[in-house]
């Protein structure tokens, strides 16, 4: 059973527009949540990690929220660029140590058009 659900599956936006990606999960315990960016044919690059019960982070044009009560996270991308075209993957870690497991969403494919 999929424990990390991402929506939408895919999204097309025009350069300069903002977008919001969603992540809902049922992983327990939920120690932390991380968003990755995966360019086509490349590895996963970490964008941000959220840890607290209700957490917010900001990394340039990327900002994210986490609500552990709702088991829900969002990734906001502001003023999108063509280079933002990628798959964005939500990952929930059930522990903060090597004994933990990472639970991966299938990703949201974002396409930014001119």
Partner 1 sequence: DMKVTQMPRYLIKRMGENVLLECGQDMSHETMYWYRQDPGLGLQLIYISYDVDSNSEGDIPKGYRVSRKKREHFSLILDSAKTNQTSVYFCASSLDREVFFGKGTRLTVV
Which residue(s) pair with 6 in the sheet? 23
CA-CA-CA-CA torsion sign (48, 61, 4, 24): positive
Q: Applying CB under 8 A, which part among 15-23, 62-70, 78-86, 104-112 lies near partner 1?
A: 104-112
Q: What is the dihedral of CA 62, 89, 23, 58, to 10 degrees?
A: -20
Question: Which residue of 79, 102, 111, 113 would you call a contact of partner 1, by CB under 8 A?
Answer: 102
Q: Does 10 bind partner 1 (CB under 8 A)?
A: no
Under the criterion CB under 8 A, does residue 101 sit at the interface with partner 1? yes
Does residue 19 touch partner 1 according to CB under 8 A? no
Upstream peptide bond of 99 is cis (omega within 30 degrees of 0): no
Q: Which is nearer to partner 1, 28 or 97 (CB)?
A: 97
Does 1 participate in binding partner 1 (rule CB under 8 A)?
no
């Amino acid at each position: 059973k999929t424990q990390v659900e991402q929506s939408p599956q895919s999204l097309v936006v025009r350069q300069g527009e903002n977008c919001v990606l969603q992540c809902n999960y049922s992983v327990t315990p939920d120690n932390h949540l991380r968003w990755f960016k995966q360019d086509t044919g490349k590895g996963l690059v970490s964008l941000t990690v959220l840890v607290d019960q209700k957490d917010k982070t900001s990394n340039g044009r990327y900002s994210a929220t986490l609500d552990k009560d709702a088991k829900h996270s969002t990734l906001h991308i502001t003023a999108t660029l063509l280079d933002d075209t990628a798959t964005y993957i939500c990952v929930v870690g059930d522990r903060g140590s090597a004994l933990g497991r990472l639970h991966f969403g299938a990703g949201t494919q974002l396409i930014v058009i001119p």
